[in-house]
Amino acid sequence: MKSTISRRNFVGTSALAALACAASSTRPAAAAGISQALIGESPINLGLASYTFRNFSRTQMIAYLKQLKVTGLNTKDVKDHLPTAPDAEDKAIAEYAAAGIHLHGAGVIYFPKDEDDDIRTKFEYCKRAGIPVIIAGDPAPGTLPRIEKFVKEYDIRIAIHNHGPEDPVWPSPLDVLKSLKGMDPRMGCCMDVGHAVRAGADVVEAIHIAGPRLYNVHIKDLTDFKDKESQVAVGDGKMPIRGIFEALMKINYKGWVDLEYEVHGDDPMPGVTSSMAYMRGVLAGMGYASHS
C-alpha cells in the first residue's frame, strides 16, 4: 500500500521534533531523529494579534496562548484585552506579566483626528504598557507630521497598517513607504501580507523595499490572492511563507511576525494551532527551532 504524508503533517511533525530537541540540552539531536543543523534558535519571532481572539476574554486568551506556547502578543482594546482606562489597563498588564506574555505591539489603533490631545492619549496608552510599537490604522497623510512629533517625544515607533484594495489611502505597504520618505526613521509600516497581496504587491519584494522601516508583520494565508474571503489557516493557501521568512532574515528583521487569523471568530483555535505548527515546521525545515 502506498503511504502518503500531507505537507501539513510533515511540517507539523518537523516542528515538534525541532522544539523537542531544542528543549533538551542533554539528548543528542540524532536521538530525536533530526540532524544537529535543526537546533539553531530562530531569528523569526512568532507572535499573535489579539484580534484573533476578539470574541474571547483576556483570561480565555491567556489560557489559549499558554496552550500554543506563544509569549508575544500584539494586543488592542477589544473585549478586555487591553482597556484604555488606566486602572483597567494596569490590571491587564499585570496579568500578562504574571503569565509570561510580552506585549510587543498595540493595534490596530486608529488616528481619526489631527489633534494633539487625541494623539497623545494613544501614546500614553502604549507608554503605560511599555509597548514599543503602535500599529496605526488609516491615519490621514496630513496627520503624519503631528504623529511624528509624538514619535520623537515618546520614542515609540509607528507602524502604519495596510488594508488592501478597499483602503483608498494605504492599500499596500509600498503606499505607506512612499508617504514616509524623509520622516523620522521610527515612522514605519506594519505589513499585512494578506491585504498586501490583494493590493497586487509581491510581499517578498516589499519586505526588501521596506527594510529598516518594517516594524511589524501580520501574517495570514489565502487560497485566492484577489479574494478577501478566501482566508485559511497558514499553510493551506498560496502565501510564500518560507520566502517571507527568508526575506525577513535577509533584512535582519528584529520585530515580530504576528498571526492574525480573522476567520472562524467563534472557534479560532483549530486554525490558529494549525497555522503555528505550519510556521514552526517551515522554520524547522530551514534549520531553526521556533522560540515564540
Does position 22 have pLDDT exceeding 50, yes or no? no
Longest CA pairwise span in the chain (Å)? 70
**Three-class SS of residue 268?**
coil
DSSP letter (8 states) at residue 69 = T
What are the pLDDT digits (tens) for 204-260? 999 999 999 999 999 999 999 999 999 999 999 999 999 999 999 999 999 999 999
Q: Would you state the pLDDT for residue 14?
A: 44
Q: Look at residues 255, 272, 207, 188 and name the one whose alpha carbon lies nearest to residue 45.
A: 255
Among 266, 264, 261, 201, smallest CA distance to 237 is for 261
Residue 133 grid cell: 510599537
N- to C-terminal Cα separation, the chain = 39
Q: What is the pLDDT of residue 289?
A: 81
Q: What letter represents residue 236's amino acid?
A: D
Residue of 215, 276, 287 whose CA lies nearest to 251? 215
Residue 26: is its pLDDT beyond 50?
A: no
What whole-number distance in Å separates Cα of residue 229 and Cα of residue 164? 13
Q: What's phi and psi for 222, nearest 5 deg?
A: -135, 150
The owner of cell 483555535 is: 269
Kindly list the structural domains of the chain, giving each domain's residue range(s) and its CATH number in brackets, ordered by start. Answer: 42-289 (3.20.20.150)
Q: Is the pLDDT of residue 6 over 70?
A: no
Within 8 A by CB and 6+ apart from 173, the residues are: 162, 189, 191, 196, 201, 206, 210, 214
What rounded mean pLDDT belongs to the chain?
89
> Are 198 and 229 in contact, with CB atoms under 8 Å apart?
no
Closest by CA to 48, choosing from 242, 200, 281, 234, is 234
pLDDT at residue 29, as a whole number:
33
Residues comprising the chain, all counted: 292
The pLDDT tens digits for 163-187 are: 999 999 999 999 999 999 999 999 9
Q: What is the band of 5 on the pLDDT scale with cuts at 50, 70, 90?
A: very low
Q: What is the pLDDT of residues 228-243, one digit of tens each?
A: 999 999 999 999 999 9
Decide: 222 and 238 in contact? Cβ < 8 Å: yes
Which backbone phi and psi does 225 adopt, to 5 degrees? -70, 0
**Helix 203-210 crosses helix 241-250 at what angle (to 10 degrees)?**
10
**Tens digits of per-residue pLDDT, 27-48?**
233 323 334 445 578 999 999 9
DSSP one-letter string for 196-258: HHHTT--HHHHHHHHGGGEEEEEE-EESSTT-GGGEESTTSSS--HHHHHHHHHHTT--SEEE
Encode pLDDT of 266-276 as tens digits: 999 999 999 99
How large is the average pLDDT for residues 96-123?
Answer: 97
Per DSSP, what are the bridge partners of residue 191?
217
